[in-house]
């Protein structure tokens, strides 16, 4: 079986979260949509400290490689991604991020002009393989013909590989469009989900940045989706410079014996 291998930095391609249920109950209000007034493809991010949004740095690079100006970036919320939340005051890319080939430091922070009612905490603990993780985003088109519609879609998957720099989901083989998407593949984020959080126990542990994709001659696609690992000391220091702190798990009520 012949194959073609490519790495996608996901805001650059028109693919979307597949096998992920719509977040109809707005259970993830801090997962927001990033849009650009110049019409470039959008991304996903997560709000923290009610004033900042964590996302992928490559989302904020124009096609000529320049960092976008804050005034062309807008943040939207709600399950359908249509509620305008705020304009952007300032954009800060990780100081070690250089270009789209940079996998370790592909993170950035937006400072909003208006506080948002919802936010979320972080965990900087090193993950292990087979950890259950919540993923998704606001993807708008297709992967192998599997369509999404711009709504926030969130679902679960499993960690397949962890390095100091990245957290990758288990590898998946997406079948051709005429075949039913197997549920065991889990939620698979893709194109305009770039920048969306990897979430464990209700806390953000990674920022989704790139997908290794292999196209097979039978029409199927092998995918491995990866995030920047927040436990990387350089990434943790960057996020904490905006006042973000590790959020402890809620304490369990004592049981009477």
239 membership: H or E segment, kind and range? helix 233-240
The answer to whether residue 239 is domain-embedded is no
Between 175 and 107, where is the model more confident?
A: 107
Mean pLDDT of the chain: 84
The answer to whether residue 142 is domain-embedded is yes
Count other Cβ atoms within 10 Å, centred on residue 234: 16
Tokens 């001659």, residue located: 217
Q: What gap in Å lies between CA 138 and CA 153, rounded to an integer?
A: 6
- Quick check: 53 pLDDT over 70? yes
- What is residue 4's predicted lDDT score, i.e. its pLDDT? 47
- Quick check: 125 pLDDT over 70? yes
Count other Cβ atoms within 10 Å, centred on residue 231: 18
Q: Distance from CA of residue 217 to its chain's centroid?
A: 29
The answer to whether residue 238 is domain-embedded is no
Say if residue 99 is in the same domain as residue 179: no
Q: What gap in Å lies between CA 131 and CA 244, rounded to an integer?
A: 23
Tokens 């900042």, residue located: 52
Say if residue 13 is in the same domain as residue 36: no
Say if residue 135 is in the same domain as residue 113: no
Maximum alpha-carbon separation in the chain = 65
The answer to whether residue 244 is domain-embedded is no
**Residue 141 — pLDDT band, cuts 50, 70, 90?**
very low
Average pLDDT value for residue range 63-90: 92
Q: Which domain holds residue 62?
A: 31-119
- Quick check: 12 pLDDT over 90? no
Question: Which residue, of 119, 149, 169, is where some domain finishes?
Answer: 119
- Quick check: 157 pLDDT over 90? yes
Say if residue 155 is in the same domain as residue 225: yes
Q: What gap in Å lies between CA 226 and CA 205, rounded to an integer?
A: 12
The answer to whether residue 257 is domain-embedded is no
The answer to whether residue 236 is domain-embedded is no
Tokens 């470039």, residue located: 40
The answer to whether residue 245 is domain-embedded is no
Q: What gap in Å lies between CA 203 and CA 197, rounded to an integer?
A: 9
177 membership: H or E segment, kind and range? none
Question: Which residue, of 58, 89, 119, is where some domain finishes?
Answer: 119
Tell which phi-psi region holds residue 137, choosing left (phi > 0), alpha (psi between -120 and 50) or beta: left
Say if residue 132 is in the same domain as residue 214: yes
Question: Which residue, of 97, 119, 141, is where some domain finishes?
Answer: 119
- Quick check: 257 pLDDT over 50? no
């Amino acid at each position: 079986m012949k194959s073609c291998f490519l790495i996608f930095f996901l805001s650059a391609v028109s693919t979307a979260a597949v096998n992920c249920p719509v977040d109809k109950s707005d259970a993830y209000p801090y997962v927001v949509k990033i849009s650009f007034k110049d019409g470039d493809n959008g991304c996903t991010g997560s709000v923290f400290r009610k004033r900042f949004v964590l996302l992928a740095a490559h989302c904020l690079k124009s096609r000529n490689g320049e960092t976008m100006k804050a005034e062309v970036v807008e943040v939207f919320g709600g399950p359908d991604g249509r509620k305008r939340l705020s304009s952007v005051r300032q954009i800060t890319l990780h100081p070690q991020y250089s270009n789209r080939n940079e996998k370790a430091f592909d993170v950035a922070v937006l400072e909003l002009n208006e506080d948002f009612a919802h936010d979320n905490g972080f965990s900087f603990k090193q993950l292990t393989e087979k950890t259950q993780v919540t993923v998704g985003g606001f993807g708008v088109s297709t992967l192998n013909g599997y369509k999404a519609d711009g709504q926030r879609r969130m679902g679960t998957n499993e960690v397949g590989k962890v390095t100091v720099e990245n957290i990758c989901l288990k590898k998946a083989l997406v079948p051709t469009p005429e075949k039913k998407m197997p549920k065991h593949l889990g939620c698979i984020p893709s194109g305009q989900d770039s920048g969306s959080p990897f979430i464990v126990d209700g806390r953000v542990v990674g920022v989704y940045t790139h997908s290794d994709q292999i196209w097979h001659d039978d029409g199927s696609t092998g995918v491995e989706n990866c995030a920047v690992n927040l436990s990387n000391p350089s990434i943790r220091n960057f996020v904490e410079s905006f006042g973000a702190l590790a959020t402890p798990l809620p304490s369990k009520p004592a049981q009477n014996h």
